[in-house]
Amino acid sequence: MADLGHDVLGVDTDSRKISALRDGQASFYEPGFAQILVSAVGSGKLRFSTSLADAASFAEVHFICVGTPQLPGALGADLSQVEGALDALAPSLTRDCLVVGKSTVPVGTAARLSARLAELAPPGISARLAWNPEFLREGFAVEDTLRAARLVAGVTSAEDDAVLRAVYAQLLDAGTPYISTDLPTAELIKMAANSFLATKISFINAMANVCEAAGADVVTLAKALGHDPRIGGRFLSAGLGFGGGCLGKDIRAFIARASELGVADSVRFLQQVDEINTGRRRRAVDIAREMAGGSFAGRNVAILGAAFKPETDDVRDSPALSVAAAIRAEGATVRVHDQRAIENARQACPDLDYSDDVLKVCENADVVLHLTEWQQYRELDPASLREVVRSPRIIDARNVLPLGRWQAAGWTARAMGATR
Ligand code: UGA
């Protein structure tokens, strides 16, 4: 927002995060973010505070961008952070404003929060609610924000629509599609988008299961499908399936909300999408066990990658860590490499061993699993890695390594769903 020319005040309850941000430091890794943060803070366009009262008197537009994680032990989303932010902000408002939700929420939430905002705002203050879901991908967050593929505005009046158009004027001038709609449609667009993406990944992983049984190659199959412009080649990479803080929890929250709305049947397929996805993690463990000689007991297993995907240090619901933990639970010694995510991985799975040195992780390994497709793994030299392992066996769970080169260097190499 500061880069788009606005004066911005960022608020968080975590004072350590806020003081780091004031110094131009983020608590997470995101390509390109450090530069944009330093420049926005340096220009004075972006400031930070832990006080919502500061924000209430400062802004005419408030974005709520907090998380909506899965509820523990249930499918639905935990809305306490969104509700908490709104409840804390509303009574302190001192000027008319538009409060805009960016968080991913079950359809119907915005209408409920809209009434709550009107009720909690001080008398005489006009506070309206809009919903403007974000579609950024981790690893491309800056790009996806500044050059968004589309903007969605859920609004209840032409005036509120005009406010959002003004906020995004620079993107609109650049031709970014802008879809103005009502609150429930805006909320649903986000849920539908993530459900579609998850479905596309599970579809190609279902094909991977069939390819494995039939001796066919899912990479070639996906490439051929992708040439059909009606299908498109993106999000058709088969292998280990999706993880992260969004797709999985969003399809589950969608199932829960559809059930409340009496249309559970309409999204029942999402349950299968979820099952196909977690099945791929089990499949990776099965292939690794088979390659390790039928049991992990006493085996050393090297894991390449801990983040849920490359270009992030996020390990939430990481397929790589979930496979690593399952193998460890079966008695192997598991060593994990990642170029960015080791600190987060250590907190999430303290039982695993970690190193930022690929050679150390692979030392005396009986089997190596490539689970997160960081570019550096494509450039590994199979011959020198062969020198350090106990048995040269590798599984490419992301179907991107040049396995021919690995085989030529004496490795037994397997892909997931592919016959390379
Ligand atoms: C996802 C959506 O792509 C964003 O549009 C959305 O804004 C975001 O969730 C959100 O709701 O906040 P993200 O979780 O950052 O973004 O990651 P994706 O790029 O969607 O990847 C998710 C997972 O799918 C990763 O584990 C990735 O490895 C896996 N994936 C992706 C595949 O297994 N195959 C593919 O072809 C693509």
Element (H, E) at 394: strand 393-396
CA–CA gap between residue 285 and residue 78 (Å, rounded): 31
pLDDT in tens, 50-104: 999 999 999 999 999 999 999 999 999 999 999 999 999 999 999 999 999 999 9
Burial class of residue 322 (count of CB atoms within 10 Å of its CB; 0-12, 13-18, 19+): buried
Q: Is 329 helix (H, G, I), strand (E, B) or coil?
A: helix
- Catalogue all structural domains in the chain, each as residue range(s) with its CATH number: 51-181 (3.40.50.720), 217-420 (3.40.50.720)
Q: Give residue 357's pLDDT band: very low, low, confident or very high (50, 70, 90).
A: very high
pLDDT in tens, 310-346: 999 999 999 999 999 999 999 999 999 999 999 999 9
pLDDT in tens, 1-54: 999 999 999 999 999 999 999 999 998 999 999 999 999 999 999 999 999 999
Cα 309 to ligand 1 centroid, rounded to whole Å: 8
Q: Assign 3-state DSSP to the chain and report helix, strand, coil percentages, each to 5.
A: 45, 15, 40
* Residue 273: closest CA among 197, 195, 194, 199: 199
Q: So what's the pLDDT on residue 130?
A: 98
Which of 33, 102, 138 should be mutated for ligand 1, with most atoms under 8 A from CB?
Answer: 138
Cα 294 to ligand 1 centroid, rounded to whole Å: 33
Which of 28, 194, 234, 274 should be mutated for ligand 1, with most atoms under 8 A from CB?
Answer: 194
CA–CA gap between residue 75 and residue 252 (Å, rounded): 5
Ligand 1 pocket, CB under 6 A: 104, 134-138, 194, 197, 201, 235-237, 241-244, 246-247, 308-309
Q: Is 362 helix (H, G, I), strand (E, B) or coil?
A: helix
CA–CA gap between residue 354 and residue 418 (Å, rounded): 29
Q: Is 58 helix (H, G, I), strand (E, B) or coil?
A: helix
Where in the sequence numbering do the catalytic residues fall? 246
Sign of the torsion angle spanned by Cα atoms 101, 103, 106, 109: negative
Retrieve residue 346's tokens. 């250590």
Q: Give residue 419's pLDDT band: very low, low, confident or very high (50, 70, 90).
A: confident
Cα 314 to ligand 1 centroid, rounded to whole Å: 12
Res 420 pLDDT > 80? no
pLDDT in tens, 213-251: 999 999 999 999 999 999 999 999 999 999 999 999 999
Residue whose CA is closest, atom 11 of ligand 1? 246
Beta carbons within 8 Å of 329's beta carbon, 6+ residues apart: none
